[in-house]
Structure 1
Amino acid sequence: MSTKTVQLTHKLASEGERTLAFFRSLPDEAWSTQVYQDGAMWRVRDVFEHLCISEHGLRRLFEQILATGQGAPEDFDIDVFNAERTGRFASLSRDALFALYSETRSATIAFTQGLTDEQLAIRARHPAMGDASLEDMIKMVYLHHQMHVRDVRRVVE
């Protein structure tokens, strides 16, 4: 693995552990706390589910970029995607969601471990960032999670 790949996989692993530990530490009543007051109107549970769903979708996008060079379509609407997907795991227990998060992050780490510096430099369209390198898109995975953890922390602490 290259230095960049080692750094990315280390950060994905450490931030994934921090995110999971944070959500595991929340008391039962916190999971129904409203996090956002406009737009998605997500509760804590919705936010955690969103992290699982979005990371899975992004990893599939990264695989597509490697295979075809094509990123997200120009007409991709991230708000519509989030609204349509969030809630699809409503029947899962928290423990099942925690397992899903761990599996999803492990798959992202495994994918990233196999990348070369040349592949990390490939540019394509990210659904939220626009034109970006694959390296920056992978960084955005853990930054995205940090942002949502910060938002949840604000309403539950």
Structure 2
Amino acid sequence: MNQLVNDNLNNSRNNLVQEITTLSDVQFNSKPDMDMWSIAQICHHLVLVEESTIKDIAWGLKASEPTQQERKKVDLILLDRTKKIKAPKMVEPDVTPFEVQQMIDLLNDSRKKLLTFLSTIEDKSILAEKSVKHPALGEIALDQWVEQIYLHEQRHIEQIKEIKLLLEVKH
């Protein structure tokens, strides 16, 4: 992966962890509204998306023919929070409560799995040549699947900040 992508993955994850580290487990699991996810559920969703992305990229790499697609403006789609995106069932979070440290461990574990998986891809250029259908973005190149991880994370960091305000969490 190029350095920018690595930096973006690191920065978004560090920002996420920074947002949740100071929360009590009660705040972490509180829902400002019955129709909203708790911050813990948002984080669990991010873990599930990251793990699912590894499977999707692995599946896309097995496709024998390059399936070059027109590149989409993934950032504009994911960072536009005026458009609600419904999470597919497989990445819907658990309703059971989580502890903050437990979630940080899950986040660290899923990121380690992602980076380990990506390090096994010898020719990274293949990621731009093959594509797989994304549930929210449609057919996108595999390298854009990697980018969507940190963009999706940034989207949810903004949501977490809003929930903290709704819960009146003080730093």
Does TM, scored on the shorter chain, surpass 0.5?
A: yes
The correspondence of residues 1-157 of structure 1 with structure 2, limited to 5 A, is: 5-34=2-31, 38=35, 41-68=36-63, 78-83=87-92, 86-87=93-94, 90=96, 93-115=99-121, 116-157=124-165
- CA 92–33 in structure 1, closer or farther in 2 if over 3 Å, else same: closer
How far apart are the structure 1 equivalents of 2:5 and 2:156?
Answer: 19
Segments of 4+ moved more than 4 angstroms: none
Unpaired runs of 5+ residues, structure 1, are 71-76
Say which structure is richer in helix.
1
User: How many positions carry a matched residue from both structures?
Assistant: 143
CA RMSD of aligned residues (A): 2.6
TM-score by length of 1: 0.76
**Gapped regions of structure 2 (runs ≥ 5):** 66-85, 166-171
The C-alpha deviation readout for 1:36-90, integer Å capped at 9, x for no partner, is: 664xx311111111111111111111111112369xxxxxx9533234xx217x3
Deviation at 1:6, TM superposition (A): 2.5
Identity percentage of aligned residues: 16
Residues in 2 aligned to 1:47 and 1:148: alpha-carbon distance in whole angstroms: 7
Q: Which amino acid aligns with 1:119?
A: L
Q: CA 1:27–1:69 in 2, change beyond 3 Å: closer, same or farther?
A: farther
Residues 94/37 of structure 1: CA separation in 2 closer, same or farther (3 Å cut): same
Return closer, same or farther for 1:147/1:113 CA change in 2, 3 Å cut-off: same
